[in-house]
Amino acid sequence: MPKINIDEIYIGTNRRPIKEEKVKQLRESIKTNGLLNPITIDSQGHLIAGLHRLTACKQLGFKAIECNIFDYQNDEQTRLAEIDENLIRNELEALERAELWLERDKLLARMGLKAQPGDNQYTQAGGEMISLPVKTNLDFAQEIGYSKRTLQHGKQIAKDIVPEVKEIIKGTAIANSPTKLLQVARVGNQERSVIEQAQRALEKAKQRGEEAEIQRQRQILIQAQAKQKELQLIALKKVMAPREVKLTIAPEITPVSIPEIEAQSTQEWILGRHRVYGRNTGGDEFINLLPGNAALAIATLSSTWNHDYVINKARVVAVLRSQGYIYQFCRQHRMNFQYEFLVGNIYVGIFSQESISQPPTPIKVEGVEGVVNYLLHLYTSPNDVVIAPFMGQGEVLATCEKMGRICIIGDDNRELLNRGMIRWQNLTGKQVQHPSTMSLLESV
């Protein structure tokens, strides 16, 4: 894997803002384990994927960094790769995801890659078939756990909320609530129709050189845009109000912090539909709380592995590991080995009580979160239960939240627990609860 001087890597201006919490998590991981997933650049040194990893390495004082180098035919293909990377790997707010879906749709249209009814591939203007391995927005969305309806709503949100209102929403809890975003997006339909008509009339007036008509349509356009903005700001204020009231009347739901977790007598927390357990996950207490019909268990190897029980709790067990260790692991532990495959640069051993077919290779996915996303897509369906006896950096919990799976996860490392739960709060805009009597099994 080639190493490139960090100072020679060019970062484009259209990158998403850096999330400091993610950089901090990566910095700690890289300091302990090294850079497990190289960044991706093109042959000219332009960054395609890995801004947070690159930033973490800069903060650690790295002078050079390992890179995957890919060549794309043009800037549009490069940008498409960046968008796909963000959609797969990052914990996006609903508004961010919607904007990327819309931009992706426009890119495919400009590149002549919009799928037509009956097409098996993508057709350029003139009917010429091309072989670029690019998916439609719907194919791509479904692959990472979103439905056709969610995709349609997302594009409506990105297209119909005016830019000034979007800027106010970004970073708030509303930015991660598709329902509330849709309420705002659907306001001002009449004004939107006037805007579209005025834009068409303005173009025709320009073509004919009718100066008076140009000025008239511009005035109509300005007035309609101002009215639409005003109506959406009023709608935004209304959808934000109920949340403020709810928080006022529910003080028992409080944000998680490290001191608070350590002070709690209970060792279980409710995160929406997910459950977090704060003791040794190899003990009988955790095992007895688990359902026996989970679709998938995901674990990483460790020197203290005592989790063979997962083979009796989940239909499929995926063990993430380094190269060359799986056969020694199989000799030492009583789990039925099926096969192994490489996802990105992470080796995955698959275990199951029943015979299951091996997925096609090669699999082009990067990072632990990309691997988790792939495994959930391959072995689970929405509303399935996923078990994770290690928190890690919260990859399984975050991906289950985004893909509509139910996660039961545990760890006895309080710092990792805290990071994972705070990450979930930031992702959802919701808050962790501390149950007093509810068990994991009863609450799923």
Domains of the chain with bracketed CATH = 1-71 (3.90.1530.10), 258-443 (3.40.50.150)
Rounded Cα distance between 150 and 142, Å, is 10
Residue 197 has a pLDDT of 93
319 CB burial (10 A radius; 0-12, 13-18, 19+): buried
Instruction: Decide if 40 contacts 25 (C-beta within 8 A).
Output: no
Tokens representing residue 120 in the block: 């098996």
At 158, is the pLDDT very low, low, confident or very high (cuts 50, 70, 90)?
Answer: very high
Is the pLDDT at 219 greater than 50? The verdict is yes
Residue 108 has a pLDDT of 81
Instruction: Decide if 380 contacts 296 (C-beta within 8 A).
Output: yes
Is the pLDDT at 327 greater than 80? The verdict is no
Which DSSP letter does residue 134 get? -
Q: Which residues contact 177 (CB under 8 A, 6 or more apart)?
A: 94, 239, 429
User: What pLDDT, in 10s, does the model give residues 162-200?
Assistant: 998 988 888 788 888 888 999 999 999 899 999 999 999
Tokens representing residue 254 in the block: 């409080």
Tokens representing residue 90 in the block: 């990052």
Tokens representing residue 203 in the block: 């173009």
User: What pLDDT, in 10s, does the model give residues 98-118?
Assistant: 888 888 888 887 877 665 444
pTM of the complete model: 0.46
Is the pLDDT at 16 greater than 70? The verdict is no
Stretch among 60-64, 121-125, 223-227, 380-384 having the lowest mean pLDDT: 121-125
Rounded Cα distance between 321 and 113, Å, is 38
DSSP-based three-state secondary structure for 170: coil
Q: Which residue has the tokens 């030492």?
A: 332
Q: What are phi and psi of 434, to 5 degrees?
A: -110, 100
At 409, is the pLDDT very low, low, confident or very high (cuts 50, 70, 90)?
Answer: very high
Does 293 or 161 have the greater pLDDT score?
A: 161
Instruction: Decide if 385 contacts 293 (C-beta within 8 A).
Output: yes
Does 172 or 309 have the greater pLDDT score?
A: 309
Using omega within 30 degrees of 0 as the cis cutoff, is the peptide bond preceding 362 cis?
yes
Q: Which residues contact 302 (CB under 8 A, 6 or more apart)?
A: 390
Which DSSP letter does residue 357 get? P
What is the residue-wise DSSP string for 193-219? HHHHHHHHHHHHHHHHT-HHHHHHHHH
Q: State whether the Cα torsion 275-278-283-284 is positive or negative.
A: negative
User: What pLDDT, in 10s, does the model give residues 246-280?
Assistant: 333 333 334 444 334 444 445 788 898 999 998 88
At 143, is the pLDDT very low, low, confident or very high (cuts 50, 70, 90)?
Answer: low
- Cα distances from 344 to residues 36, 140, 368, in angstroms, run 10, 18, 9
Number of neighbouring beta carbons within 10 Å of residue 288: 10
Residue 151 region by backbone torsions, left for phi larger than 0, else alpha for psi between -120 and 50, else beta:
alpha
Residue 330 has a pLDDT of 63
Is the pLDDT at 388 greater than 90? The verdict is yes
Is the pLDDT at 129 greater than 70? The verdict is no
Is the pLDDT at 236 greater than 70? The verdict is yes
Which DSSP letter does residue 257 get? -
Rounded Cα distance between 306 and 392, Å, is 17
Instruction: Decide if 440 contacts 277 (C-beta within 8 A).
Output: yes
Rounded Cα distance between 23 and 420, Å, is 14
Q: Which residue has the tokens 């190897």?
A: 301
**Among residues of the chain, what percentage have pLDDT more than 90?**
25
Going by C-alpha positions, the residue among 203, 111, 201, 100 that lies closest to residue 159 is: 100
Going by C-alpha positions, the residue among 198, 178, 174 that lies closest to residue 186 is: 178
Does 208 or 21 have the greater pLDDT score?
A: 208
Rounded Cα distance between 340 and 5, Å, is 34
